[in-house]
Amino acid sequence: MSNKTVKCECGHVNHEGTVLCEACGKPISGNQHIDGNDQNDVLEMRYEGSARRSKTYKRTIVDKTWGFFSSVKVGVWLIVITLIASSLGTIYPQEQFKNSPLPSSQFYEEEYGLTGKIFYQLGFHNMYDSWWYIVLVALIGISIIIASIDRFVPLRRALKNQSVKRNEIFVKRQRLVSENNTLNDEDLTSLKENLKKKRYKVSEEDGHIMAEKNRFSRWGPYVNHIGLIIILLAAIFRMFDLMHTEEYVWVREGETRVLPNTNQEYYIENTEFIYEEYDSNEEEQFRVALENVENPVPKNFQTNAIIYRSTEDTITGQLPDMEEVTRGQIRLNQPLTFDGFALYQAGTQLESEYRTIGFDLENDEETLGSFEFDTDEAPYSFELEDGLEVEVDNYFPELEFTDNGPSSFSKFPRNPGIIFSIENPETTNVERFFYLQEDVISLSDDNELNLSVSDIDRRSASGISITRDYTLPIFGLGAAIFMIGVVQGLYWYHRRIWIHPTESSYHIGVHTNKNWFGMKKELEEITKDTNVQSFHDQQELK
Amino acid sequence: MDFYTISSWFLYATFFIYLIAIAFFGMTLGNKRSENNKSKSTKLAISFTIIGFLSQLTSYIFRWLEAGHIPVSNLFEYIYFFGMMLILSFIVIHFVYGISTLGLIALPVAIVIIGYGSVFPTEVQPLVPSLQSNWLYIHVTTVGLAQAILSISFIAGLLYLIVKVNQEKRSKETTFLELIIYGVLATIGFITITTSFGLADYEATFVKTTEDGYEQEANYELPALFAPHNSELQSEGAFESGIEAPGWMQGVDAGMKLNTLTWSLLVGLLLYGIIRLLLRKRIGATLQDKFGKINPDVVDDIMYRAIAIGFPLFTLGGLIFAAIWAQQAWGRFWGWDPKEVWALVTWLFYAVFLHLRLTRGWHGKKSAWLAVIGFSLIMFNLIVINLVIAGLHSYA
Ligand code: HEM
């Protein structure tokens, strides 16, 4: 970078690449092509004709990269590409939503045919955390930063250095002008008064008048871009466990389990799981809707939980001594929070497990006794009245039949199978029974005893997700700054009016950074009852 | 009489009142612009619009009383709310800018939208647990209002194009304009055909056997131009064209959706053809003759102002409030589901609009076309994402 400067005839020393003198606004010869002023009658005022790095230096790689990212054209293209890519990702479900046991390599092709296969092969099934999507977003971030710096710094300097006394060419080449006005002192006084009424800041120098208001709105875009950058940074932070963790745990009713992402420090006990459905007798207004759907409509999923904190070092597989931290109800939309963690009701397995199964034993004449099989304890034998003994030969929590006979698919009592053997006190024969699918079958033909199921108690399991997310306040801050910036830039307009005396008359030039329609209305009020001639719009839509 | 019935009656009344308002707006055509604001027909037109709005609001409140929650929890209710906000925004714009021809676009569009919504189940539905949140109401109502305001920019844009596109010879612009009009006609086609066959209680049941041997039923409420893939007709005497939906349309309802779409497009084509024959020129050209002159700067300003208000509101409702709700319900404020992605796409699109306008000077016709695209994104989100994408896949 060189430090060449350009001195204007008004005496102000401008940076190299300046288009309009920062002080008086006179077009600097040789630089007018930069903002396209050589072809237009109206001066390009977007950045006050200030010297932007991207437009001034174009030689080295750094210059070129800077120029590339600071271009709004490039920025807009990046956004458009992201927008199109994002929408393409919704054609078929993302991998996480595919809801099928098939591996993705088969799922997309089988379900959606050729287009599905292409979708998969392009990697669109995992679009939003693919490297190229992240790179796109990162490029947008870089573009926002560079474009903002490229414009903000010189713009601020130009607005600071502007002087009240402007060059005549500058005033006459504004979009709204009124030339050759004959104004008397009265006119000028009432103009100034009207301007002040409209909250303009009015300054004077040698008979030149400048009125300005709402300069701060020019910073709106820069503020909102800072908000966006904060949000992108928060997204990066969120990738680190220190800032954000998320885990999932299933807890049965009555069970206490460690919360996985708490370093074995916190435990949850599920004291009760509540599931409720809408009932068309109670809520009459929903009758039609409820009758139109096949399945009942759920009303509430709720886990009543107690959170403990361990007070000693833990030994795996054993519950340590604990103290209660908090207790409460976890519902959809009502997480339970404690010490920076939040617990969400995320899944349910309704009555999916057997807690206890009750049995009655009788022979032809009388009842011999009853007992209850508790799947947690899974005892090896039961002692009934009269010394009668029931042996548990085999217990399969989740029964399935394989080539080698019955076995258990898991250790969870989702479909228990139990083989009992009982010695008949009368015959002293050992009789065997098989409990499966809520029924009992005899395993030998000559059984004289009769074993039957008396009652069944099931339990639900509750899926709880546990998150700790320290990035939330950062996202909130970014969003708030974004909103402030957007409002600041969209609802206030930076407006300036220059009254330029010549030997015989006055030229008036007007600039607003947007909303020319409103500007024209305001000018009508400002020039009311004065000799100012109507303004000429040099760029009206035809 | 129960609240639900009262609500329905007010809704019917609303349609008629809006139609009357349109008629009065129509009578303002051909007047000079300066006379228009004060003319009797303009006053009557806007009065009827306001009465219609109040009637719709009453209907909405009775529905609210019946349900016990703000009615924004299904497609019908959302579209209803959206249409109401569209009218409200139009009323506000009318008092600020006073362009009565705008009413001739805003009201028909709103009626078509509300009519479209009424095709979906209208009974009051209970809220499943994930919907029981105040943040949800805040989110949906803000989005509804924001999208309605953004749609005003489309309405202004359409007016701009109708008046400004050169109709002397055929061009890409005239063709696209006809396409937009055709889109409106096809929607009207959809509403007419579903309501008429609905009144006639038409039904045809197809049974489809899936690859794993399950039998699924699809109930057609329109004669089947396309049967579901691999299916058999059950109802006797029902119409069947013998054509099946293509194999990649797997879902049991996919064939039905294709069928409905085809019907709507065909009826739309028929309507368009008839109108074209009667007019003997492009509909756009006829409208241009009727609409006369506008002040392009003012219409351009409406277009921009609507986005300047709609964009921050959409950011707030569609992204920020939505994220707060998702965080509260599931512990994750963003999950890349199709609705979320489309909110992002819409938001990015309007950001592009603002950039092009502010830094590249896209005003007038260019802005107007962008406003049209923006509206089609909103409609796409409302219709396609809700009905097709969410329906073809299993996450509704
Ligand atoms: C998601 C991405 C973005 C959003 C939501 C966004 C939002 C905005 C908004 C709301 C404005 C103000 C517009 C107005 O006042 O009419 C703005 C202005 C601007 N944006 Fe962005 N922007 C984004 C990305 C970018 C990128 C990637 C660039 C890089 C080139 C960029 C460069 C600019 C510039 C140069 C301005 C105008 C500043 C001025 O002229 O004073 N923006 N942006």
Q: Are strands B231-233 and B204-209 parallel, antiparallel or unpaired?
A: antiparallel
Q: For A250-254, A359-363, B256-260, which range has the lowest pLDDT when averaged over its residues?
A: B256-260
A 55-114 near B (Cβ less than 8 A): 72-73, 75-76, 79-80, 82-83, 86-87, 89-94, 96-97, 99, 111-114
Is residue B200 included in any domain, yes or no?
A: yes
d(CA B336, CA B313) in angstroms, rounded, equals 21
**pLDDT the model gives residue A96:** 82
Whole-angstrom distance, CA of residue A139 vs CA of residue A117: 29
Q: How close A480 comes to chain B (CA, Å)?
A: 9
Mean pLDDT is highest, among A53-62, A283-292, B304-313, B354-363, for B304-313
Identify whether the C-beta of residue A257 lies closer than 8 Å to the C-beta of residue A264. no
**What CA–CA distances, in Å, run from A91 to A130, B258, B337, B342, B385?**
17, 16, 11, 11, 9
Verify that B202 and B111 share a domain, yes or no.
no
**pLDDT score of B252:** 60
Give yes or no: residues B336 and B374 share one domain.
yes
- pLDDT band, residue B213 (cuts 50/70/90): low
What are the φ and ψ backbone dihedral angles of A163, each rounded to 5 degrees? -110, 165
d(CA B335, CA B228): 32
3-state secondary structure A472-512: HHHHHHHHHHHHHHHHHHHHCCCEEEEEEECCCCEEEEEEE
pLDDT at B394: 32
* Predicted local distance difference test score (pLDDT) of residue B395: 30
**Is the Cβ pair B393, A97 closer than 8 Å?**
yes
Cβ–Cβ gap A91/B389 under 8 Å: yes
- Helix then strand then coil, in percent of chain B rounded to 5, is 70, 5, 25
Q: Provide the pLDDT for residue B393.
A: 37
Q: What is the largest CA-CA distance in chain B?
A: 71
| Shared-domain flag, residues B51 and B155 | yes
d(CA A250, CA B294): 65
Q: Which among A72, A215, A514 is the best mutation to test ligand 1's pocket, defined by most ligand atoms within 8 Å of the CB?
A: A72
pLDDT at position A218: 95
CA distance readout (Å), A404 to A393, A407, A437, A441, A475: 17, 8, 20, 20, 57
Provide the token pair at B155: 């309405």
The reply to whether B133 and B12 lie within a common domain is yes
State the Rg of chain A over Cα: 40
Provide the shortest C-alpha distance from residue A359 to chain B (in Å): 37
Q: pLDDT tens-digit profile of B137-159? A: 999 999 999 999 999 999 999 99
| Segments of B197-254 assigned E as strands | 204-209, 215-220, 231-233
Higher-confidence position of B357 and A100: B357
Same domain, B20 and B40: yes
Q: Residue B359 falls within a domain, yes or no?
A: yes
pLDDT at B389: 59
- How many residues make up chain A in this entry? 542
Residue A83 confidence (pLDDT) above 90: yes
pLDDT grade, residue B280 (50/70/90)? confident
Q: Stretch B292-315: mean pLDDT, rounded?
A: 90
pLDDT (0 to 100) of residue B60 = 92
List, edge to edge, every strand of the sheet that includes B215-220: B215-220, B204-209, B231-233
Contact B121 A289 (CB under 8 A): yes
CA of A160 to the centre of ligand 1 (A): 22
> Residue A51's closest CA among A130, A156, A134, A129?
A156
Print the domain residue range for B235: 182-281
Nearest CA owner, ligand 1 atom 18: A221
Judge if B8 and B129 occupy the same domain.
yes
Mean pLDDT (whole number) for A49-74: 90
Q: What is the mean pLDDT of residues B296-317?
A: 93
- Looking at the fold, whether B133 and B208 belong to one and the same domain comes out as no
pLDDT at res. B309: 95
Q: What is the mean pLDDT of residues A169-176?
A: 91
* Chain B residues within an 8 Å CB radius of A335: 328, 331
Give domain status of residue B172, yes or no.
no
Answer yes or no: do A97 and B345 touch at CB < 8 A. Answer: no
Tell me how many domains chain B contains. Answer: 2
Residue B344 lies in a domain: yes
Q: What is the pLDDT confidence band of residue B390, given thresholds at 50, 70 and 90?
A: low
Identify whether residues B354 and B266 lie together within a single domain.
no
Mean pLDDT, chain B, integer = 85
The 10s digit of each residue's pLDDT in A503-521 is 889 999 999 998 888 899 8
Q: End of a domain among B216, B251, B281? A: B281
pLDDT score of A208: 92
Q: Domain end: B281, B301, B319, which one?
A: B281
Distance (Å, whole) CA B394 – CA B376: 25
Residue B175 in any domain: the answer is no
Tokens of A465: 């997700």
Instruction: State whether residue B389 sits within 8 Å of chain A by CB.
Output: yes
What is the pLDDT at residue B260? Answer: 80
pLDDT tens-place string over residues B93-140? 998 888 888 988 999 999 999 888 888 777 888 888 888 888 989 999
Q: Within a domain: residue B173?
A: no
Pick the CATH number of A176-214+493-541 from 3.10.105.10, 3.30.310.80, 1.10.10.10, 3.40.50.2300: 3.30.310.80
The stretch A12-31 carries a mean pLDDT of: 89
How many angstroms separate the Cα of A102 from the Cα of each of A106, A140, A501, B117?
6, 36, 81, 37
Give the model's pLDDT for residue B361: 79
Among A18-22, A382-386, A464-468, the range scoring the smallest mean pLDDT is A382-386
Considering only CA atoms, which residue is closest to atom 10 of ligand 1? A486
- Residue A128 near chain B (CB below 8 Å): yes
pLDDT of residue A88: 92
pLDDT over 60 at B392, yes or no:
no
Distance from CA of A512 to the nearest CA of B (A): 12
Helix (H) or strand (E) holding B37: none
N- to C-terminal Cα separation, chain B: 34
Nearest to B129 among A286, A298, A482 (CB): A298
Confidence class for position B396, pLDDT limits 50, 70, 90: very low
Spell out the domain ranges in chain A. Answer: 5-159, 176-214+493-541, 220-240+470-488, 244-351+463-469, 356-455
**Beta pairing partners, A452:** A360
Boundary (domain end) residue, out of B281, B306, B328: B281
Which token pair is A119? Answer: 């979708």
Assigned token pair, A42 = 């109206």
| Interchain contact B337–A (C-beta under 8 A) | yes
What is the tally of helices (H) and strands (E) in chain A?
11, 24
- Residues B298, B257 share a domain: no
Residue B30: per-residue pLDDT? 67
Residue with tokens 């959706």: B257
Kindly tell me if the per-residue pLDDT of A382 is higher than 60: yes
Residues B237 and B312 in one domain: no
Q: Phi first, then psi: what are they for A18, rounded to 5°?
A: -70, 140
Whether residue A13 contacts residue A7, with contact meaning beta carbons closer than 8 Å, is answered with yes
pTM comes to: 0.89
- Asked if residue B139 and residue B108 are part of one domain, the reply reads yes
Residues B71 and B190 in one domain: no
Q: Do A483 and B320 touch (CB under 8 A)?
A: yes
B323 at A interface, C-beta within 8 A: yes
Compute the distance between CA of residue B370 and CA of residue B359 in angstroms, rounded to an integer: 15
Predicted confidence (pLDDT) per residue in B65-75, tens digit: 888 888 888 88
End-to-end CA distance of chain A: 44
With CA atoms as reference, the chain A residue closest to B365 would be: A541
- Over residues A390-406, the mean pLDDT reads 88
Q: Write the pLDDT tens digit of every residue in B190-211.
A: 888 888 887 777 777 777 776 6
| Contact flag B308-A490 (C-beta cutoff 8 Å) | yes
Sheet with A389-396, side-by-side order of all strands: A381-383, A389-396, A417-423, A430-436, A439-442
Over pLDDT 70: what percentage of chain B? 89
B359 has pLDDT over 60: yes
Per-residue pLDDT reduced to its tens digit, A402-413: 888 888 888 888
Q: What is the pLDDT of residue A396?
A: 92
**Measured between alpha carbons, how far is residue A497 from residues A12, A24, A27, A177, B89 in Å?**
21, 14, 18, 10, 33
